[in-house]
Structures are given as structure tokens and as C-alpha cells.
Structure 1
Amino acid sequence: MKVFLVYKEDYPWDVRVEKLALALSEAGHAVTVIANNHNKLAESDTQGNINIKRLPQIKWLPTRILKLIFMPVWFNFFWLNTLLKQSKGSSQAVFLIRDLPLLKAGLLCAKLRSGNVILDMAEVYPEMYASSQQFSNKSIFQRILKSPYLAQRYENATLPDADHILVMIEESRDRLLKKKLDENKISIVSNTPPINKYLGKTHIHKGSKLHIVYVGFLTRLRGLDLLIQGVNEFLNLGYDKSEIQVDLIGKGAERDSLIKLIHDLNLDECITVHGWLAQDRVDELLANANVGALTYRVCGHWNHTIPNKIFDYMLAGLPVLTTPVIPICRIIESTNCGLICDDNKPDFTIAKNLEKLRDPAFRKKLGTNGQNAVLERYNWEKDKNVLLSVFEALEADISASGTSQTSESSASQ
């Protein structure tokens, strides 16, 4: 089948988009990624057998203006024109829409092309917008543009028209079932790593020194200030700064405030904010770490999705340190691969859990449990099979529909 994977951000690079595109291409489907173009890259590109088509390359416009005119909303001319242009002549195409904002654009194009639409619901937008407003200071324009109420109405109006919906986690699926959506049209394709991602790089736990790593965006929702305060509390228990090292890897709106907090607490010696790093360097820091941190703020957003880093930590053999986010806790409790901090006293319980994790034998036990869970269950090989089965079923339905129409046409002659 011809698959148009529509991604609202620039590409490359996004790990999930890449995994989806590669899996479908390797299964024999003709895959085109249609992406944004804030970085003013070439409008046409390739990645192996995958075609990449971007919004127009407008070099003379400032990036901030491009972000405005290329805004991923369903009625945006640039998105509709690009989707229709790239899918021209492709009857019965499949539009795989990454995330809610462009779903209606995909539905309109699919109708014109006699195609089908699959939504990849990596984020639950009404919950994400509500959580963002709860923990961030948004302008009036941003609050209107990213209104949880409007996102909920848009979602309710469009989801029933999708031919299938991919969700990240059981909690997201259950939310859709409460909306009375057909359970046969919903599949869990999680954000898991391939089994061989860290082949030969598993951490060997030894010594009592803690080396904690976090990889991801630096936003208030990620709760990195809770981790920093927890480290400070850990030192207040009587431990020396030489006994703990924290590497925060990523970029985001909270970067400066986190650096200030680290400086104010006099923790510069043991906590480093690296910024965004190349994947090889990230893998190196993961291999040298002995604890993976996910001290997210508990909210509706995190309770309906799952960060890919939990599985990366587990596969790398790192025990996971987390706050009581529902999907993360469910995985940790069922596999015994980490420790959960109390949301009411995060700094104190983070410190007490760090104290427990000084024991290398305990870290090894949790890390081994997590690694085994990924090898047996939480891996891309299993999720890829679910993805491919969705497309196989859709292809069978299209074929059966075509056969039925042919038979009806012959009977009428």
C-alpha cells in the first residue's frame, strides 16, 4: 500500500516516526513521510527506501514566521496542499497521521483520494493541554490555541471517522473505550526500543556512588526540579557530593531556571545540564549511569501516555526512579524494576530512595528485572508486529471491498 506518514514537526528526526516508517517500508509498503519545514530543508529527500516530502522551502522568511504560517492545524493551506499534491494519483492511499491536530486534514484528503486514515495517538491532546496550563504560564493566545475544551470537542468530532487508532498505553486505550469507540479499531503500539539497541552496553553495577541520568525535554511537567531538590535532600542526610552525579540531557523552556536552581542550592559540582547531545553521546552517558530518572509531575497528560525513556532505561539495565505516574507505576510494580516516590513529599522520598539505590546488588536486581521485561515483552519487535497486523487487516478489507464492488459491477451488466 501507499502510506503517507504525516508528522507535524520537522523530520528528521523523531524516533517513533522513524520506527513506524522503517517497519512499514520493510514490510513492503511504499512510505512517504510528510513533515514540517521550519529548518528550511529541501522539499524532497530520501532515507533508504523512505521518501520524505516537506512543506515548501521558504529561505527568506524568518523561522518565527514560518512556525506561524506552517502551524499544524487541519485547515492550513500549506498542509492540505502538500498532502493532496503528494497523494495525487494514489487511490486507496493510507494516511497515517501522527497526532491529533492534523487528523481532520487527513480525513479530508482520504475522502478525496478514496483512502483510509490511521491516527497515531502518541499524545492525548486534551489532557496534554490541560496539564500544560496547570503547570505553565501561558499567554491568552496560547490558552485559546491550546484549549483543552476545544481539543476535546475536535477529538470527539474526528476520532469516530478514523479507520483505526494507535495508542501508546492501556490507559489511553481505556479512555477511548469510555468514549464508546469500537475496541476493534484501537491497537496499542507502544514506544518501545528494539531488543538490540544497547547490545553489549548494559551497565555493570558496582560501588555505592550514584550516577543518575535523565534524557528528554526540560519542561516543568518533567519534574526535574523535584529531582534536583531530592538530590539536595539526599546530601542533607549526610552524604558527600562526591557520592552522587546527575546528568540532565535535553533542551526546553525550563533549562535556565533549572541551572539557577542548581546554582542556588550549590549543586553545580554534582548536577550537570548538558543540553541536547548526539545519540552516541547519550548512549555513552546511559551506559555509564546506574539509575534512570523519570520524576514527572503527576497529571492527566502523563497518566495517558508513556515516555520511551522508561524502556530505554530498563533495557540498559538501569533501575527507574519515578513519581507515581499511573502507567509508569503499573510497569514498575509489575516488573519490580524501580522505586516510586511519594507525590506528596517528592524531595524527601526521592532522597530516601536514592539512599536505597546506593546498594549495587539492589540496583542490579532492579536493573536485571527491567531488562528481562523489555526482552520478553516491552520491545519494538512485538509492537511492530501489532502495527503490521493493523495494516494487513486494512489491506485485506480494501481488497475484499474491491472484490465485492467488482462482483456487483459484473452482476449488473
Structure 2
Amino acid sequence: MKFLIIYKEDYPWDVRVEKIALSLAEQGHQVTILARNLEQRPVTDRQGEVRITRLPTLKGLPRPLRKLLNLPLWFNPVWIWKILTATPKHESAVLIIRDIPIAKIIQPIKKLRNVKTILDMAECYPLMYQSIQNFSSRKHSRMSLKNPRLTARYEQSIIGQFDHIWTMIEESRKRTLEMGVPEDRVSIVSNTPPIEKIPDAREPHSGRQIRIVYVGFLSTLRGLDTLLNGVSVFLKDNPREHIKVDIIGKGKQKEFLSNLVNDLSLHDVVTIHGWLEQSDVDKLLMYANVGALTYRFCDHWNHTIPNKIFDYMASSLPVLATNIIPISRIIINTECGVLCEDQNPADVALKLLQLTDPEERQRLGSNGRKAVIDKYNWENDKLQIFEDIKRITELD
């Protein structure tokens, strides 16, 4: 079969898109990824057996205009033209579209080309936009594009028109069903790591020093200020050599977090690296002995799951997390980490003290690694993908 995966950002790289594409290619299918091209990469490319096609390079145009023409909106004529020309004409095909911003394009193309369609709902956009507004000091910025109510109406208008929908976690699936989508058209394909990418078993945890790592975007919703303030409280009663924090990522909060590190006099304890190559991230994961996910408690995080929780678990790192519903459930069920109250630095400090015990870190880390090997891995998730594709392609 032929598959066209439509991804609204530049590619590479997105780990979930890559996993889906490679899994389908391994089955002998012809897979093409269609992506934005703000970075002006070649219009055609390859990633192993996977073809990559991008929006036009638009050479000579100023960056603001290129950005406008690359906007992932369902009425953007550049996207409409590119998706239409990339969709197979006379053969059975499946279009997989990542998230909802350009999802409405699919419906007329589905009729013209007689293809099957899958929505990969990695994010619940109305909830994400609402959470951003709740925690942002610029609540009315870009309201026309990121208005939660308008986005919810748009989502409701298209959600029932797909042959199948992949959600990330139980809460997102339940929300989709509540919007009226039949139960047999919604399944969970989580954000788990492939078995072959699980690191080798590490040396047993030892010593009282906590070496915390965070990998991801630097934004208000990530709650890194809670982590840093918790470290500051911890240091009031504990030696400074007992803790080290590495923050890896890019985002709008980097300057704020750097200033907070200085304000709290944590410059000798906390390092904000910025964005690193994956090989450097892997080295810091091997050096670390705790993985941090001190996210803000909000509807957005309560309806998705970060891939980093599984990366931490696979690396035998106990997870330090706030009480986000899906994250809490995994941590409680697998006993792979500790939970702290949202925006409560004192409670973070208490949990950090608990993690100074190397035997406790070893127990939690071992539980997490075992849970990934046994359950939370891509080999299990891709079986769901194959089952769903088989079902929708046999409907006729």
C-alpha cells in the first residue's frame, strides 16, 4: 500500500512521525512524509526506505513571507496544492495527518482520491491553547489562530470524518469518544521507545548525590521554575554537592530560567545547556540518576503523555513528576518514580530528599526499565497501528 504522512512542521525531526513511517516501511509499504519547508531543505529527500517531500523552497522570498506561506492552516493554498499533488491518484492509499490544524484539507481530497484517512491526535489543541492562555502573561496574543473556543468548534466539525483516530493516552481517547466518534474508530498509540533503542543496563545506583536531567522544551507549562525552586529549598538543609541539575532544550523561557538560576544562586548546581545533539543527550542521560517532569497541572497535560517519561524509565532513571493524571497513573502502577504537588517547591524538596537514597533510586529505576521492556514499548504500539490499518482498508 501507499501511505502519505502529513506533518505540519519541518522534517526531520519528529520521533513519532519517524517511528510510524519506519514501521510501515518495514512492512513493505511505500511511505512518503510531506512536511513544511521553512528551513529551505531540498523538496525531495529520503530517510532509508521512507521518501520525504516538502513544500516549495520559495527561494528569494523574505523569511516572513516564507513563514506565512508555510503556515499549517487548512485553507493555505500551498498546503492544499502540495497535499493534492502528493496523494496517489489511482491506487489504494492511506493519508495519515498529524494533528488538526490542517486536517480539514483531508476531506475534499478524500473524496477526490478515494483514500482512507487517519488522524494522529498527538495533541488536544483546544486544551493546549487554553492551558497556554491560562499560564501566559500574553493571554490575548495571536487570538485569531490560537483561540481555544474557535479551535474546539473547528475540531468538532472535522473529528467524525476520519476513518480512524490515534490518541496518545486513555484520557484523550475518552475525550474523543465523548465528541461522538464511534468506539471502534479510536485507539491508543502511545509515544513509547522502540525496544532496540533501549539503552544497555546501567551500573547500579550508588551514592547520595542526585543528578537530575530534564529534556524538552523550555516553556511555562513545563514547570521548570517549580523544579528550580524545589532545589533551592532542598539546599537549605542539604549539602550542595548532593545535587546537580542538567536542563536540555530550547524555548521562550530559557532567559527566565537562567535569571532564576542566578536569583536563587544555583549557578554551581544547575546547568542550562540549550539544545544538544542526541548523542550528547544520551551521555547526560547515562550520567543522570533522576529524570524530571515537573509539569504544570492542566487539561493539556492531563490528555497527553510525553515520550520523555518512557525515555527516563528505559534509562533506569526514577521519575520525579508532578501529579499530572496520565503520568501519575504510570508512576503509581509501575512504581517507577515519585510524585510531588504541582507548584509546591517544599514538596519537591521532600521528594528530592527521598531520592538521595541510592537503594530507593535503584528500586524505582529498575521497575521503570522493566515496565518499558514488558509493556511501554513501540513494538506493542505498532501492533495497534497494523491492526487499525488492516481494519480500515478492509471496510470496503
TM-score by length of 1: 0.94
1:127-138 equivalences under 5 Å are: 127-138=127-138
What displacement does 1:137 show?
3.0
| Structure 1: segments with no counterpart, 5+ residues | 402-413
2:348 maps to 350
Q: Deviations over 1:224-245 (max 9, x none)?
A: 0100000000001x21222111
Alignment CA distance shift 1:348-1:139 (3 Å): closer
* Secondary structure in 1 matching 2:338: strand
Q: Does 1:120 align with 2:129?
A: no
1:377 maps to 375
Alignment CA distance shift 1:203-1:293 (3 Å): farther
1:286-365 equivalences under 5 Å are: 286-343=285-342, 346-365=344-363
1:203–1:290 CA contact under 8 A, matched in 2: no
What displacement does 1:90 show?
4.3
What displacement does 1:88 show?
4.6
Letter in structure 1 aligned against 2:32:
T
Greater shift in the superposed pair: 303-312 or 80-89: 80-89
1:9-408 equivalences under 5 Å are: 9-138=9-138, 140-200=140-200, 202=202, 204-236=204-236, 238-343=237-342, 346-397=344-395, 401=396
Distance 1:394 1:73 in 2: 26
Aligned residues between the structures? 396
Letter in structure 1 aligned against 2:296:
R
What displacement does 1:180 show?
2.3
Q: Deviations over 1:130-167 (max 9, x none)?
A: 00111113374512210110111011110100100000
Distance 1:317 1:138 in 2: 39
Q: Deviations over 1:13-66 (max 9, x none)?
A: 100000000001111211110000010001011111111010001232233332
Distance 1:209 1:189 in 2: 36
* Secondary structure in 2 matching 1:97: strand
Distance 1:150 1:222 in 2: 25
Distance 2:187 2:263 in 1: 47
1:407 maps to none
What displacement does 1:339 show?
0.5
Letter in structure 1 aligned against 2:310:
F
Letter in structure 2 aligned against 1:276:
W
What displacement does 1:194 show?
1.1
Letter in structure 2 aligned against 1:63:
R
Q: Deviations over 1:177-214 (max 9, x none)?
A: 22221010001000000123133253531100010000
* Secondary structure in 1 matching 2:191: coil
* Secondary structure in 2 matching 1:41: coil
Distance 2:220 2:250 in 1: 12
* Secondary structure in 2 matching 1:9: strand
Alignment CA distance shift 1:90-1:204 (3 Å): farther
Distance 1:71 1:139 in 2: 21
Distance 2:391 2:156 in 1: 25
* Secondary structure in 2 matching 1:100: coil
1:404 maps to none
1:203–1:318 CA contact under 8 A, matched in 2: no
1:195–1:379 CA contact under 8 A, matched in 2: yes
Distance 2:202 2:10 in 1: 32
Q: Deviations over 1:375-402 (max 9, x none)?
A: 11110000011011111222222xxx2x
Distance 2:141 2:273 in 1: 32
1:94–1:110 CA contact under 8 A, matched in 2: no
CA RMSD of aligned residues (A): 1.2
Greater shift in the superposed pair: 381-390 or 193-202: 193-202
Q: Deviations over 1:273-301 (max 9, x none)?
A: 00110101101100110000000000010
Letter in structure 1 aligned against 2:315:
A
1:133–1:143 CA contact under 8 A, matched in 2: no
Q: Which runs of 4+ in 1 moved over 4 A?
A: none
* Secondary structure in 2 matching 1:251: coil
